[in-house]
Structure 1
Amino acid sequence: MTLQTDYIGKPTNRVDGPAKVLGTAKYAAEFNVPNLLYGYVVSSPITKGNITKIDAAPVLALPGVHRVFSHENVPSLAWFDRSYKDDVAPGGSPFRPLHSAEIKFSQQPVALVVADTFELARYAASILHIEYEEEAHETELAKHLDEAYQPGKGKTGYQPPKSRGNFGRGWAQGVAHMEGQYSHHAQHHNPMEMFASTVEWLGDKKLNVYDKTQGAFNSQQYIMKVFGLSKEQARVVSKYTGGGFGSGLRPQYQLFMAVLAALELERSVRVSLTRQQMFSFGHRPETLQHVALAAAADGSLTGINHVAVAETSQFEDFTENVVGWSGTLYDCKNVQLDYRLAKLDVFTPLDMRAPGAATGSIGLEIAMDEMAYAAGLDPLEFRIRNYSDFDQAQNLPYSSKNLRACYREGAAKFGWERRDPRPGSMRDGNLLVGWGMGGGIWDAQKQPAQAQASLDADGHLTVSSGSNDIGTGTYTIMTQIAAESLGLPLEAVTFVLGDTELPEAPVQGGSWTAASIGTAVQEACAALGEELLKQAQKMDHAAFKGVKIDDVQFANGQMRLRTDLTQAVVLRDLVQASGQPKIEAKNAKLPGLIDMVKPPKYSMHAHNAVFAEVKVDPDLGTVHVTRVVNAVAAGRIVNPKTARSQVLGSVVWGISMALMEESVMDHRFGRFMNHNYAEYHIPVNADIHDIDVIFVHEEDAEVNPLGIKGLGEVGLLGVAAAVCNAIYHATGKRVRDLPVTIDKLL
C-alpha cells in the first residue's frame, strides 16, 4: 500500500486560490459590519513646522459628519506609552498620530474626518481649513553626509558591522584595485491592497479589528498599549493580505485612527488610506555606498572596504544590515565595514523586501564585476576563486552552503560559457547584447511560534496559528506539512491563521515564516499523534499496548505499527471512541529567554546566483531584460510551485530596482512627487521575458527540523546587480546610480 507521506516537496496548488478567485476572501476594507462609519485622513501639505489653527465648524455643520479628530481633542482620549516599541520598531520615539501641532514630515496625518459615508468624509476632509507655520526642512541625503553618525541600538536585532584584519595592508598587497560610489534612491512598497482598518464596536470597549498587517499580534499589542485595552477587548483579524513586502510589519497610522474613532464614538469605523497616502509612511531608505576592493595576482581578494550612509527620520534610528554581507559572502582576511545614518525631515524608513541586503548586494556585486575586469578574470571565475567555505564574520562553520552548485547549475542553464568577455562584443542585429551575473546571501532564521492541531470525529484535521499570509503561500505549505505529519489527504486538512485568538506567532517577514510556523505545525501534529496513540491504548487495542510514538506511522488516515503495517486503526475511529467532538494538542511553549540567547554553533544562510541577459538599443538607450536564470540554495523546498512564484516575483522586483523603481523627492517641498502607480514605475507584462528558477538541492539538519531556510528575500538579491553588470557588458558604460534610466546610457 502506498503511504501518503510525500506532500512536502511536491508542487501543490494554493488551497486559498478558489477563495481569492471567487471573491470570498475578505480583506481589511471588505468587512461590512453594521452601523459602519467612515474616516478620511487629512494630510499635511508642508514638511516641517506647526499647525496654528484648525477651523472644523464648517465641516461639523455638514449633515452626516460625526467628528473631526485632531491634536486638539485626541490627547484626552488616548495615552501614549513612550517606551512602547512594536516588534520591528527602530530605536527612538515612535511617531504618534495627532499627538501635537508639530509637523515632522510631508503628508503627515493631521486630522481624521468621520462621517456616515466614505464620499461625505472625503468631501468634508477637502474643505477642512487648517493653517500652518512653515519651517525650513532638510530632505537631501547628499547634503548631510558630513553629519552622518554611527547608530546605537537601532532596530531590534541590529548589530553594528564588524571589521577584521587590516584593510590598509590588504589594499597595499593587491595588484589590482577598484573603487566606486553606488546609490539608489528611496523606493516605496506599493502593495496592491492599500492600508485599511475596519473596527467593529461590540460594546464596553470590546473591538474586533480587521487590519491590513503582516502581524496580527503586533497590531494587537499596539492597540492594547496605546489605548489601555486587554487582549479580550482588542481582537485583531487579518486572514488575507494583498501584499506587504515589509510595509505591514509595523502598525500604520490608519489603525490608530480607526480604533480611536470607534472608542470615542462607540460605533464601528473604517479608515482606508489612498494610494497617495501610501507614500506617507516608510520606504526603502535612500543609501549611498562606497566600495573598494583589492586583489592579488591570482585573483584572490586581499581587501574589502564597504561603507554605507542611509537616511533616517528625525525621531527614530532606522537601521539595516547593508555592509555586513560583504564580510560574509567572500573569502577575505582584511575587511573594513562602516554604516552610518543621516537624519532628515522624512518619515522613518521601513523594512522592504530583503532590507539592507538588497541595497548592499547592489554595491558589492557591481563592484565584484568591476574587480573581475580589473583582475582580468571572468566574473564567475572571480567569485569562485573567492568562495568562502567558512563564515569569517561570525567565525562559524556553515550549517550548509551549496552556492558552488548555484554557480554551476545557473551558469549551465544560462549558457555562460559562450560569453565573450569584451564589452560591446555581442549583438543581436542592431541590438547590443550583455550578459551579467550577481548573487546574494540571506539569514536562515527561525522565530518562536505556537500552533494547535485538532482532529474531529469525521477525520478532519484543523491546524491553526496566528500567523499571516501576505500572498507567499502560507495557507498551502502549512496544509502540506500537517497532512504529511498525520498521513491525511490534503482535502482533509484545514489550516487557519490571521487571528489573535489563535496560538501566538511572529510577524510574517524576514523569510522565517515557513521555518517558524512550519516547525510549530509539525510539533503540534506530533503532539496530536501522541494523544491519538494514548486513545488507541485506552481502547485496549492489543497491537498498540506498550508502543511508543516512534513505533507508529501515520498514513492513509490510519495509525499503523511500523513493524506490522496490517496492525492499524482509523484515526476518526479513535476520536469517535473517545466520546469527545475532537482530540487536540498544542506544540510546546515558546522558548524561554535562555534558549533564545544561546550562542549559535553554525552560520545559517540561504544563497543564490543570478545570470541576466539584456539587449540595449544603442541609438535610443532602451534596455530590455530578455533572460534571467536564478539558482537558489535554500534548504528544503516545501512546495516548488509556490516557491517558484516567490523567486519569480523577486526577479521581477530586481529588474524593477535596476531599471525603473525610484521615489522622486522634490527637495524644495520635501515631498515625493510620483506618489501614484502612473508615475512610480514598476514592470508590466511587456517588460518581463524568460525567467528560469533553479532550486539547488540542499539538506540541512541543523537549521530547523524541516530543513527550511526561507525564500522571500534571497531570490531578490543580486538581480539588480546582474542587470547592471549585463548593461556594462553590452555597452561599456558603468552605471552606479540606480535606476539605470535612458539618460544615463545616451
Structure 2
Amino acid sequence: MKFDTPAGQNPIDQLKVVGKATDRIDGKYKTTGTAPYAYERHDVAANQAYGYVLGAGIDGKYKTTGTAPYAYERHDVAANQAYGYVLGAGIAKGRIRAIHSEAAKRAPGVLAIVTTLETPRLERGTMNAAYLFGGDRVQHYHQAIAVVVAETFEQARAAAFLVKVDYAPEAGKFDLATEAKGAPPAPGDSGEGSGGDGVERVGDFEGAFASAPMRFDETYTTADESHAMMEPHATVAAWDGDKVTLWTSNQMIGWGHGSMAKILGIPKENVRLDSPYVGGGFGGKLFVRADAVLAALGAKAARRPVKVALTRPLVANNTTHRPATIQRVRIGATEDGTITAIAHESTSGNLPDGDPETAVNQTKLLYAGANRMTAMKLAHLDLPEGNAMRAPGEAPGLMVLEVAMDEMAEKLGMDPVAFRIRNDTQTDPNKPDRKFSHRDLVGCLTRGAETFGWAKRNPKPGSVRDGHWLVGMGVAAAFRNNMVMKSGARVRLDAKGTVTVETDMTDIGTGSYTIIAQTAAEMMGVPLDRVVVRLGDSAFPVAAGSGGQWGANSSTSGVYAACVKLREAVAQRLGINSDDAVFVDGEVRSGNRAVPLGEAAQAGALTGEDSIEFGDLSKTYQQSTFGGHFVEVGVDVDTAEVRVRRMLAVCSAGRILNPKTARSQVIGGMTMGTGAALMEKLDVDTKRGFFANHDLAGYEVPVHADIPHQEVIFLDEVDPISSPMKAKGVGELGICGVGAAVANAVYNATGIRVRDYPITLDKLLDRMPEAA
C-alpha cells in the first residue's frame, strides 16, 4: 500500500479499540516470568551452550541449598548445557601479538576457544563503526578478542582467565576536551531522523548577532552515557548444517538479519533471527553486537548451541554509548524577545568511521529566527563506539538549547514560557515555504503551565523555601522529528474467527504487541481476545523495527495495510462488495446481511499480506512532534542534594494509539532525562582509554524513589499527513528537553547555573546560598 496522500476517513477512526487505554496483552507473561527473553530461550534447542548471566533467586532455602533454578541453570529444560565467556581486549588501541590459549584449552570442561587471531577480520554489520571480531587490531578497550565455551559457567570463566595475551599498545586519544580543539566540521546522520552537514547557514548569522540589542553566548557540556538496559546483550545460537538461528535481543530484526549474513559471510536465507521480547534497548540493540557474532562462532566451534550474554563491563565498553558533547549556543534578540539570530555548535568524539552526536538538529526547526547557523565537529577518539541512544541528537541537544533559552529569557526579563511562545513558528525556519503538518508547541506550553501551576512560580531564584529545601520550577520545550519507515505484516483469519498477525516488529518494552493487536482488532471488527500477535522473527514480513520513534506508527500502518488485503479477501470469499462491507462485532455486514467473520475461513484460512510504503509527504510537509516539560525540584540547603518533587509532560504527537502504553513510554523518557541531568556519567580513564564505572554500582541511574510523581497529558489531535493511523511517534519525545527542565528548576531553586551535566552536588555545594 502506497501512502502518498493525506489519510481520509478509514476504519481506524471508529476508535472502538484503537485509542483506548489498554493493558498490555503480554503483561501476564512478563509478570509471571514466562516471557521468553533471549537469554532464557531454553525452549528452542537442546544441548545449548551458555554465556554469562545475572541470576535471580526464587526463595532463600533454594539459594542456600543450590537448587534455585536460575535462568542459566535450567537443566530441566535443556540437558547437557555448556557455557561461554567473552574475553575483551585489555588495551584501548594497538595490536595483538599473540594469544596463548593452550592452558585454557587444557582446563576442565573446556569445549572450544575461538580467538580473534585465528579468525580473519569479519565484515562490519549495518551501521557498526567498530569491528566486532577478528584480526589483530584493537580499536577500543574491551573489543572482543576471544570466546571460551565450556561445560559450566565457572569452567568457562576460569579458563578465560588462563588466556594470556601479548599486546603491542599504541598511544590513543581519549580526552574530548583536548581533542575538541582541533576537531574539524563533520557531516553526520543519527540514522533516526537527525543529522546534516558540518556547517549549515540561513541568512547572515554573524551580522545579525553582532547587531542584536540583546545577545547571549555560553558553552555547555554533556557527559558520555550508557544505555544501562535491564537485559544485557544476549544471544543463543544454533547451527543446522550451514544454517544458523539466533535467538537474540535485538531492536531491528531486518537490519540484524542482513548484518549477520554479511558478518558471517553466508547467504541471508541461511540466517534466522528471533527476538520476541527485548528487555530494553534504547538504541543499544539497534545493530548486532559481539554477543550474536561470538555465539554463532562459538556454536560452530563447539558443534552445539551456544548461549552468550555480555557482562555489565562489556555492555559499557564493548557495545555503544551516547557520546559526550561540548556545545555552544548563541542567541540574538530584540528587546521584545523576538529572536533575530541563533547558532548552535556541537563537538563530540568517535572512532574514525563513526558519526558525530547530532545535537544541533532540533535547533534548525524548533524556533523562528531569520538568521541561523548550526555546526557539528567530530574529534577522533579511541574510546568505545559512540552511536544511537534514545533520541540521539535531540536528547543532549535540547538539554543545552533549552537551558540557553531560559538564560536568554532571564536576560530579557521575560517569562520563559512566554519567550518560547513568542518565537513559535508554523513553518520550517530553514525552508519557510514548507509548513509543519501539525504543530502545537504553544498548546503544550500553555496547557502545561496552567496544569502545573506555573503562575505561582517565583521568578527570583533562591526565594522559595519549604523547610530545609529550596524549591524551584523549570520548563523546557520538547521536540522530536516524526519518522516513518516501510513496514510489512501478514494477517491470517481462521475458521474460529481468530486473527493472527505476524511481523518482525519487536517489542522492547514499548507495548508493540498491544497496539498491533488493537489495530488488527479495529480493522477486522473483533475483540482483542480474538487477536494473536507474533513478533520478532525474521521469517515474518519485514517491519519498521523499534527505533527512532518510528516503530509504533509505521508498524501499525503495516498491519493496517495487511488488514485491508484481508478484508478484501474476506469480502470476496463471502460474495460481498468490499467497499460496502462493514467489519464489526465479529461479523461482516453488508446491507441486511450479517455473517460471522469466521465463516469466511470455513473453506480454508485466509491471509492478507502487505507493506505500507510512504511517499513524499514528508518532503512536502515538515513532520515533527512537540511537548512541554515542567519540573519542580527541591535542593537541600545544607547538602545541595537535588530531589525531583513532581514532573509534567504535555505532548503533541498525533493520535495516541494506546494512552496507557504511551504514558509508560513518556514517563520512562522523563526518568531517563532526569538521570542525564542529575547523575548519569561514564567516567573516562584518560590514561588507559576506557569507561571506569562500567557497572550498575558505579554508573548511577534513577530509581523509583528518585521520581515521586509524574503526569502526562496528550493533546487530542490527529495528523492525517503522517500515516493512515494519523499517529506519530511518542516514545522518545519524553526524554527530549526534560533534562533542561530539571536544570532550569535547580537554577530557580538555588540561583546557581550549572552548565556541565550532570548536575551533581559537588557543582552546587560551595555556591549554595547561606542557610537561614
Give the TM-score range, shorter chain: over 0.9
State the shift of 1:554 in Å.
Answer: 0.6
Structure 2 residue corresponding to 1:568, chosen from 585, 594, 616: 594
Q: Does 1:550 align with 2:579?
A: yes
Aligned to 2:66: none
Over 3 Å counting, the alpha-carbon distance change for 1:451 and 1:697 in structure 2 is same
Q: Comparing 507-516 with 632-641, which one deviates more in the overlay?
A: 507-516
Cα distance in 1 for residues equivalent to 2:24 and 2:354: 39
Contact 1:163 1:327 in 2 (8 A): no
Aligned pairs (5 A) from 1:170-569: 170-202=208-240, 204-280=241-317, 281-314=319-352, 316-395=353-432, 396-537=434-575, 544=576, 547=577, 549-561=578-590, 564=591, 566-569=592-595
Contact 2:342 2:372 in 1 (8 A): yes
State the secondary structure of the residue aligned to 1:510: coil
Contact 2:101 2:162 in 1 (8 A): no
Structure 2 residue corresponding to 1:21, chosen from 23, 31, 41: 31
Over 3 Å counting, the alpha-carbon distance change for 1:616 and 1:42 in structure 2 is same
**1:306-343, CA deviations, whole angstroms, 9 ceiling, x for partnerless residues?**
110011113x1223431121121011001111111001
State the secondary structure of the residue aligned to 1:738: coil
Over 3 Å counting, the alpha-carbon distance change for 1:27 and 1:67 in structure 2 is same
Contact 1:151 1:341 in 2 (8 A): yes
Over 3 Å counting, the alpha-carbon distance change for 1:105 and 1:508 in structure 2 is same
Alignment-mate amino acid for residue 36 of structure 1: Q
Cα distance in 1 for residues equivalent to 2:379 and 2:509: 34
Aligned to 2:168: 133
Cα distance in 1 for residues equivalent to 2:189 and 2:406: 32
**1:565-619, CA deviations, whole angstroms, 9 ceiling, x for partnerless residues?**
x42111111211xx21x1111125x64xxx7678711000000001111111122
Aligned to 1:65: 110
Alignment-mate amino acid for residue 297 of structure 2: L
Alignment-mate amino acid for residue 276 of structure 1: P
Contact 2:587 2:597 in 1 (8 A): yes
Which TM-score applies when normalising by structure 1?
0.93
State the shift of 1:365 in Å.
Answer: 0.3
State the secondary structure of the residue aligned to 1:587: strand
Contact 1:177 1:295 in 2 (8 A): yes
Cα distance in 1 for residues equivalent to 2:185 and 2:544: 29
Cα distance in 2 for residues equivalent to 1:675 and 1:598: 44
Aligned to 2:179: 144
Aligned to 1:671: 690
State the shift of 1:226 in Å.
Answer: 2.2
Contact 1:478 1:521 in 2 (8 A): yes
Contact 1:151 1:317 in 2 (8 A): no
Aligned to 1:540: none
Structure 2 residue corresponding to 1:30, chosen from 31, 40, 43: 40
Structure 2: gaps (5+ residues): 1-12, 50-82, 766-772
State the secondary structure of the residue aligned to 2:488: coil
State the shift of 1:155 in Å.
Answer: 5.3
Structure 2 residue corresponding to 1:12, chosen from 19, 22, 47: 22
Cα distance in 2 for residues equivalent to 1:674 and 1:110: 21
Alignment-mate amino acid for residue 728 of structure 1: Y
Over 3 Å counting, the alpha-carbon distance change for 1:673 and 1:328 in structure 2 is same
Structure 1 residue corresponding to 2:634, chosen from 615, 636, 639: 615
Alignment-mate amino acid for residue 648 of structure 1: I
Over 3 Å counting, the alpha-carbon distance change for 1:117 and 1:201 in structure 2 is farther
State the secondary structure of the residue aligned to 1:551: coil
Contact 1:211 1:237 in 2 (8 A): yes
Cα distance in 2 for residues equivalent to 1:597 and 1:4: 27
Cα distance in 2 for residues equivalent to 1:14 and 1:348: 34
State the shift of 1:294 in Å.
Answer: 1.3
Cα distance in 1 for residues equivalent to 2:617 and 2:749: 49
Number of residue equivalences:
713
Cα distance in 2 for residues equivalent to 1:319 and 1:596: 29
State the secondary structure of the residue aligned to 1:162: strand
Q: Comparing 472-481 with 16-25, which one deviates more in the overlay?
A: 16-25
Cα distance in 2 for residues equivalent to 1:97 and 1:435: 45
**1:186-232, CA deviations, whole angstroms, 9 ceiling, x for partnerless residues?**
00001101111101222x11222101111122222122112232344
State the secondary structure of the residue aligned to 1:119: helix
Alignment-mate amino acid for residue 479 of structure 1: A
Structure 2 residue corresponding to 1:584, chosen from 593, 599, 607: 607
State the secondary structure of the residue aligned to 2:564: helix
Aligned to 1:162: 200
Aligned to 1:628: 647
State the shift of 1:146 in Å.
Answer: 2.5
State the secondary structure of the residue aligned to 1:484: helix
State the secondary structure of the residue aligned to 1:439: strand
Cα distance in 2 for residues equivalent to 1:272 and 1:148: 36
Cα distance in 2 for residues equivalent to 1:44 and 1:607: 43
Cα distance in 1 for residues equivalent to 2:99 and 2:339: 62
Aligned pairs (5 A) from 1:660-739: 660-739=679-758
Contact 1:4 1:489 in 2 (8 A): no
Q: Comparing 367-376 with 142-151, which one deviates more in the overlay?
A: 142-151
Contact 2:476 2:628 in 1 (8 A): yes
Cα distance in 1 for residues equivalent to 2:626 and 2:343: 22
Which TM-score applies when normalising by structure 2?
0.90
Provide the identity percentage.
37
Contact 1:27 1:238 in 2 (8 A): yes
State the secondary structure of the residue aligned to 2:579: helix
Over 3 Å counting, the alpha-carbon distance change for 1:401 and 1:5 in structure 2 is closer
Cα distance in 2 for residues equivalent to 1:623 and 1:722: 13
State the secondary structure of the residue aligned to 1:99: coil
Contact 1:5 1:487 in 2 (8 A): no
Cα distance in 2 for residues equivalent to 1:573 and 1:508: 35
Over 3 Å counting, the alpha-carbon distance change for 1:297 and 1:152 in structure 2 is closer
State the shift of 1:4 in Å.
Answer: 8.1
State the secondary structure of the residue aligned to 2:399: helix
Contact 1:423 1:728 in 2 (8 A): yes
Contact 1:400 1:698 in 2 (8 A): no
Alignment-mate amino acid for residue 758 of structure 2: P
Aligned to 2:658: 639
Alignment-mate amino acid for residue 118 of structure 2: N
Alignment-mate amino acid for residue 651 of structure 2: V
Cα distance in 2 for residues equivalent to 1:500 and 1:462: 17
State the secondary structure of the residue aligned to 1:434: strand
Contact 2:334 2:340 in 1 (8 A): yes
